[in-house]
Structure formats: structure tokens, C-alpha cells
Amino acid sequence: MDLRAELLKSIWYAFTALDVEKSGKVSKSQLKVLSHNLYTVLCIPHDPVALEEHFRDDDDGPVSSQGYMPYLNKYILDKVEEGAFVKENFDELCWTLTAKKNYKPDRNGNSVVSHQDAFKLWCLFNFLSEDKYPLVMVPDEVEYLLKKICTAMNVELNSCELEDYLSQEPQGQAGLTVWQFLDMVNSGRFLRGIEQEAVSMAVEEVYQEVIEDVLKQARSRHVLGHKPGPCPALVLIPVSRVQGYLWKRGQLRRNWSERWFMLKPSVLSYYMSEEQKEKKGSIALDKHCCVEVLPDRDGKRCMFCVKTPSRTYEMSASDTRQRQEWTLAIQTAIRLQAEGKKSLHKDLKQKRREQREQREQRRAAKEEETQRLKQLQEEKERKLQELELLKEAQRQAEILLQEEEQRRRQQHEEMQRTLEIQLREAEQARASMQAEMVLKEAEAERQRKRILELEAMQERLQEALQQEVKARQDEEAVRYAQARLLAEEEEKLKQLMKLKEEQEEYIIKTQREKQVLKQEMENKNKCLEEAQKQLEEVRLNRQRVDEDVMAAQRKLRQASTNVKHWNVQMNRLMHPIGPGDKRTNVSGVFAGYQPLLSRRDSSLK
């Protein structure tokens, strides 16, 4: 802890004591008085101009701690020099201001500690408190301080009772304020049956050791309530064993004189008596000094010496134990100087704080690990539940899959039966179509025979034509009379030719349709052969085949009707004409063209 932080703690108490309304603000007149007193006790030259300038009466309102800090830092704390003032006087000033308002001892005089001891405990509290405002002392430091006081009185502290007391306090686990700490000490709960004088001596002893830096050396940490640690050389013992009387040998006259010695980290001072009014000298200690044990001589026993770069100091203790304690204490002071440490207890306090922080970090890490394990356990349980749900879902899915597979198998079997039925129906349709084709072929054969008969008839008609030509030559006389009839016959011939052309076109169309029908029949046969391999396509092919068959049937029926119609027409037109009949002669003329039409029909077929 640096000097500025120590001073700020005491000033904080003085500032809060002046804050009567507890609003966090203090009137400017009170801050002027406080600043003036701080100038005085800190031995800083007064600067009334800066004081008045900062606290000029432009605003009569109070000033908060944040508003006072710039002035405090710039004009007071920045000018403080360590060793230029008596810190005890500074602490007494701040204590006087804050104790008047906050410290309330027993009015009946039953307090365990006196007002002066309360001031020293207040100083010890400030030294051991945390560097956070409002100031509190954590339970570990409370136990440490009480154990030191009890150890100075050779009394053992009841740690369990202290824990119970702290647990009963509203904020005991977070730390105690100085007024709670003083109330706890004054309650006598931990110092039962001990006289006030003994308590005062113990408080004084601890105050000198911790605040005044009077070095002390102990045999073990358990005396002071510490657990064993890595630095056994820094443990302390009661003050009376290292501040006391020793025999010292003079440098010039070499005579032995009894002196009161007091050891601090940087200096070993000696006085005429324990009142410390007349200082006889001091021995500056640094890393170049050392302590050595000397053999007994000149009637002196338990001798040792302190060697500095400029001189060797010979001293004699009353017994071996006292010599050992002094030599160990001086060696500790020399080691502190070599390590560049000004105060042993500041170093110990920092180490205790680091240990607490490490414990807090370990506890936080343990809690975090516990929380993480708990989360992992919850995650594991959740995943197990999800796994059970997944297993159940899988079982349900397997059941549904089996049912679906069975239903699909049934559908497949039903579809296969349906396709087989359709295939049989298609085979029957194919057989019926083949029978119909046989009938059509028979009908075509009859038509061919009829054409042959017509050709024979054409030959006979041709012979008759020749006879008619001869008869016409013979009847040339009557041709002029029959000219009009011939013109009519020619007109009828044109109509006949037109009908013949239409018949030829229809015959060609019928042949094409027959070829298309044959091609379709071949396609149907192929489709029927592939029906067994492609069961899925049978339905569509069957519908297409049905449509094609129905179209073919319609066409065949139409063709049959047309053939019958033209047969009737041909029979009507080809009726033989008898000789001597005028209409017969005309029909004979038409009959002369019939063979030509028949040959043409045969060639088209």
C-alpha cells in the first residue's frame, strides 16, 4: 500500500464524518477547515490563494467527494513527502473528526478498550482493510488481527465463535466496517476475563509491530493464526523479545553500556531507557550488513555483532534465547532491505490478499466447474431422453414401415391381378381382331373374284362393242337423228367419269387405311408382347389399343358400307343393253368404257 492510499483512507473517514446528512456532500466552509488542518499535520506550506480560489463563494452549495478530490490531489497529496510529517498526528486528526460522530463506547465505562486503544485499532483496521470504498475488513483479516492481539496476551482465539458472530452479522461474510469491528471488540465476546490494561498492552504491541514497523520474529505461523506457507522466515514473535535492553560495547572507550534497542526494517535504534526520550544512536541496515555470533569473552556471554560497511557493533544479550531472537530479527530486516521492501507487514498483507484472491479464483473455478458439470449432467439426461424418444420414434417408424410394406405388397398383388385380367382381355381383343381380319380378307377375296367376273364381262362387252360399231356403221343413216341423244349420253359419260374418279380416290384411300390398319395391328402385337414385361404401362397401352381398334372397326364398317354401295352402283351401271333398243345402244356405248375402268381398278388394287 503506498502512502497516498493510506492517507486517502483516513481522509475518507474525516470527509464522511463532516457529511452530516449522509448525502455524499460537505459544505465548503467545513472543507476549508479540513484542508487547513491537513496542511498543518502533513507539514505542507499553506497556499491560502489556491485554497480561496478553489473554494470561492460563487456557489454556496456543498461539494461532493468527486468535487473535492481534484483539489486534494493537486494541492495536498501531490506535495506530501514521506518522513516529513508524523503520521500518527495525521491519523489522530482524522480519528478525532470521525470518532466524535461514529464511535460510541459504553457510557457506563464497561468498554474493553480505551479511547486511545480504539484509535490504534482504527489505525490497524485502515492498514488491513481492502482498497475499496466504503472501507471494510474481510473476515480473514479480522481473524488475523484478533489472533495477533490474543497472541500478544498469550490467549487463544476461539475461531468457531468468531465464525458464528460473522455469520450472524447482516454483511459479516463480505466484511466488517471499523465501527462494527470496534463494537465487536468492546462487546467482550472474544476477550472475556481479560483486564483492560492487558488488552491495552496487547493493542500497543500489535500497533508498534504493524503500524510502527517494529520488527518481530516468531517461532511458527500457528502462533499468529497462519497456516504453514512457503515463507517461514517472515513470521513474527512478540515485540518484547526484540525491543528491549542489550549490552553494547563502545567504539572509543570500549566499555559496556546497557541500552534500550528498537529494531525497524531499515534501522536499529538504541536509547538510554525504554521511555525512548534520549536517543543515543542508530545503526542503518542495508543489504551489505550482516550478523555474526561471537564467543564469550571479557566476562560477557551470549555475544553477537552487527557488521556494517563502516563499523562493527558488538552486543551482549541476557541469554542464548534472546540472542537468537535478536540475530534472527536483524537478519530478517537485512533481508527486507536486500529485497527492496520497506515494511514487512505490507508485504505479508499483500501476500495474504493474493492468497485470498487465489482462493476466490479457485472457488469461482470450482463453482464454474460444478455448474459446468451440472449443465453437462442435464445435457446428458436431456440427450438420454431424446435418445429414448428417438428409439420410440424408430420403433413406431418400423411398425409404420412394416404396415406400409404390407399395404404396398397387397396393392402390388392386386395391381398384378388387375394387369393379368387386363392382359387376358387384351388377348381376347386380339383374337377377336384377328377373326375380324380373316373375315375382311375373305370379303376382299370375294371382291377380287367379282372384279375378275367384271373383266370377263368387259371382254364380252368389247365384242359387243365391235358389233355395235358395225351396227352403227350400218345404221349411219340414223346417227344424225340420234345426235341429240348422243350429246346427252356424253354428258352422262362425263358424270360417270367423275363418279369413277371419286371411286378410284376412295379405293386408294381405303388401301391406305388398310395399310395403316395393318401397321397398327403390328404395333398392337408388339405392345401385347411387351405387356408382360411392363405391367405398369399396360393400362395406358390397353386404352390406346381400344381406341385404335374402335377407330379401325369404324373404318372397316365404313369401308364395307362403301364397297357394298359401289357394288350396287356397278351392278346398276353394268346391266347389259339388248340390241335394237335405243337405251340399250347407249348403255352399250358406256359398257365400252367399263373394261377400261375395271383394269384401272385392278391396277390400283
pLDDT one-digit tens code per residue, 418-430: 999 999 999 999 9
- Separation CA 125–CA 103 (nearest Å): 14
Q: Which portions of the chain are predicted below pLDDT 70?
A: 1, 51, 55-62, 106-110, 169-173, 192-193, 213, 215-243, 342-344, 479, 531-532, 538, 575-605
pLDDT at position 230 is 34
450 secondary structure, DSSP code: H
- Separation CA 459–CA 96 (nearest Å): 165
DSSP-based three-state secondary structure for 4: helix
For residue 232, list its beta bridge partners.
none
Q: Which residues contact 45 (CB under 8 A, 6 or more apart)?
A: 39, 79
Nine-digit cell string for 95: 480519528
Asked if omega into 134 is within 30° of 0 (cis), the reply is yes
Nine-digit cell string for 134: 466504503
- Separation CA 68–CA 275 (nearest Å): 41
pLDDT at position 57 is 54
pLDDT at position 105 is 78
pLDDT at position 413 is 92
Neighbouring CB atoms inside 10 A of 57's CB total 8
- Separation CA 141–CA 434 (nearest Å): 118
pLDDT at position 58 is 47
pLDDT at position 14 is 86
Nine-digit cell string for 554: 369404324
Nearest CA to 272 among 305, 308, 246, 242?
Answer: 246
- Separation CA 92–CA 97 (nearest Å): 9
Cell 560497511 sits on residue: 309
pLDDT at position 588 is 47
Cβ–Cβ under 8 Å, residues 471 and 579 = yes
pLDDT one-digit tens code per residue, 109-125: 667 788 888 898 899 88
pLDDT at position 307 is 92
What is the per-residue DSSP string for 508-534?
Answer: HHHHHHHHHHHHHHHHHHHHHHHHTT-
Nine-digit cell string for 528: 401385347
* pTM (predicted TM-score): 0.51
- Separation CA 124–CA 145 (nearest Å): 8
Nearest CA to 3 among 132, 129, 127, 102?
Answer: 127
76 secondary structure, DSSP code: I
- Separation CA 338–CA 321 (nearest Å): 26
Classify residue 322 as exposed, middle or buried by CB count within 10 Å of its CB (0-12, 13-18, 19+).
Answer: middle
pLDDT at position 399 is 93
DSSP-based three-state secondary structure for 258: strand
Neighbouring CB atoms inside 10 A of 539's CB total 14
H/E segment holding residue 484: helix 483-531
Cβ–Cβ under 8 Å, residues 24 and 12 = no
- Separation CA 264–CA 284 (nearest Å): 10
pLDDT at position 406 is 92
Nine-digit cell string for 299: 566476562
pLDDT at position 585 is 44
- Separation CA 364–CA 284 (nearest Å): 46
Nearest CA to 312 among 279, 283, 348?
Answer: 283
- Separation CA 39–CA 80 (nearest Å): 9
